[in-house]
Amino acid sequence: MDRPAKTLGMRHLALFVRQLEACTTFYTQLIGMTIDWQPDPDNVYLTSGSDNLALHRAPADFSPEKHQRLDHFGFFTASAEDVDHWHAWLAEKKVKILASPRNHRDGTRSFYCADPEGNRIQFIHMPQAIVSPA
């Protein structure tokens, strides 16, 4: 299988936060991001137009010793088909797949894999984000 098309860059980051409301206010009112999607009271997705910052309410037992703040980071792709191509190619290369490609309610498509250290990486197509080659 041929290597998939180059990604559009790492423009997605997801963080666990204890103070979801305060962090949302910080990123919207001070940094200038806007809320792209808030599927429930524990998750908010922010954007400045060409990126995506996901804030996830940290679990009740969250501690830096037990958890990391970084939930995952993501690489944008130009199309949903590119998500599937990356999935197939990485699986063929024996990369650990954590979640198979799926469509999300907001029109995105993504899957998760792990790097050699176990960091969660998401390959994601977000048609609503303004994307161009990095």
Query: 50: domain CATH number?
Result: 3.10.180.10
> Which amino acid, one-letter code, is at 129?
A
Q: Which residue has the higher pLDDT, 125 or 62?
A: 125
Grade residue 47 by pLDDT with cuts at 50, 70 and 90: very high
133 in a domain, yes or no? no
How much is the pTM?
Answer: 0.74
Show the domain range for 47. Answer: 10-61+69-125
pLDDT of residue 131: 53
Residue with tokens 């990126």: 51
The SS3 assignment for 76 reads strand
5 in a domain, yes or no? no
**Average pLDDT, whole number, for the chain?**
89
Residue-level length of the chain: 134
pLDDT of residue 112: 97
109 in a domain, yes or no? yes
Question: What mean pLDDT comes out for the span 37-66?
Answer: 89
In this model, does residue 125 exceed pLDDT 60?
A: yes
Question: What mean pLDDT comes out for the span 86-114?
Answer: 94
- How many whole angstroms separate alpha carbon 89 and alpha carbon 2? 8
In this model, does residue 133 exceed pLDDT 60?
A: no
Domain count, the chain: 1
102 in a domain, yes or no? yes
